Copies of this chain bind each other. A is one copy, B any other.
Amino acid sequence: MAKGKLYLIPCLLGGEDTSILPDYNKNLLVEISVFAVENLRSARRFLRSVGYSKNFDTEVLFFEFDKHQSSQQFQQVIAALNNGKNVGIISEAGNPCIADPGFELVAKAHRQKIEVVPLVGPSSILLALIASGFNGQNFCFHGYLPIENTDRNKKLKQIENESLKSGSTQIFMETPYRNQKLFEQILQQFQAETKLCVAADITLPTQYISTQSIAAWKKENVNLHKRYVMFVVGK
């Protein structure tokens, strides 16, 4: 029997506009009835929003990636794939496998020679990068910064130095409720002439993307509290 395929299914970064997702993905979802998901409720809501009509209770199997049970869940998903079932991975927002346990499942799939199919969709990292106006030929994504103040300031300095030294664009993020504080720390830590792109609420109606020097940012009055933000540093 042919093995199933493991589809990496992007969802929205927020908001409700599913027209930013390709029809290809929507049409393909009809064929899938096993899902590995980061959060059951948001995965169901996402599937309904793009017109998925299977009965969740009788026709669909969901595996929720709980941090404590992931190993067992992974085994069940791999078994389904080996039994010829297509499986879709859905994370909380945007592309799966960037900041969720999905990547470990993909790694297992490769070891079992199961075909992995990434689908096109919104990536806040990539969209922030291209909209920043910085060099896209060389860039680094650092994920979430350290929470503790001393470590965070050290990391910020390291990111700025890397950008100045190599010309490589540096991207990082924080959880929404800490964004305003992080922004203020960046303004304190970075040199006046360093350039920063703030990309908030990407793909949403409230989208705000601006690239300015730290000196110019200090004169702006921007509120980033509880907004989704990518910070991009570059030349």
* Residues of chain B contacted by A29 (CB below 8 angstroms): none
- Of B27, B98, B209, which contacts A116 at CB under 8 A? B209
* Residues of chain B contacted by A23 (CB below 8 angstroms): 19, 23
Q: Does A233 contact B (CB under 8 A)?
A: no
A20-B22, A24-B19, A140-B140 as given contacts; A133 in contact with B107, CB under 8 Å? yes
CB <8 Å contact, A120 and B127: yes
What sequence of 0s and 1s flags, for each residue 126-143 of chain A, a beta carbon within 8 Å of any chain B beta carbon?
111111111111111111
* Residues of chain B contacted by A207 (CB below 8 angstroms): 117
A138-B143, A139-B140 as given contacts; A8 in contact with B130, CB under 8 Å? yes
Q: A205 to B154, alpha carbons, bound, how many Å?
A: 46
Which residue from chain B places its CB closest to the CB of A109 in the assembled complex? B133
CB <8 Å contact, B118 and A120: no
Which residue from chain B places its CB closest to the CB of A108 in the assembled complex? B133
* Residues of chain B contacted by A97 (CB below 8 angstroms): 129-131, 133, 136
Which residue from chain B places its CB closest to the CB of A23 in the assembled complex? B19
Q: Does A110 contact B (CB under 8 A)?
A: yes
Which residue from chain B places its CB closest to the CB of A135 in the assembled complex? B103
CB <8 Å contact, A116 and B131: yes
A116-B133, A120-B203, A133-B106 as given contacts; A95 in contact with B143, CB under 8 Å? no
* Residues of chain B contacted by A136 (CB below 8 angstroms): 97-99, 103
CB <8 Å contact, B127 and A118: yes
Q: A118 to B20, alpha carbons, bound, how many Å?
A: 11
Which residue from chain B places its CB closest to the CB of A136 in the assembled complex? B98
A19-B22, A103-B134, A107-B134 as given contacts; A95 in contact with B126, CB under 8 Å? yes
Please name the 8 residue pairs, one residue from A and one from B, whose CB atoms are nearest each other, closest first.
A107-B133, A106-B133, A98-B136, A137-B143, A110-B211, A97-B130, A118-B131, A118-B127
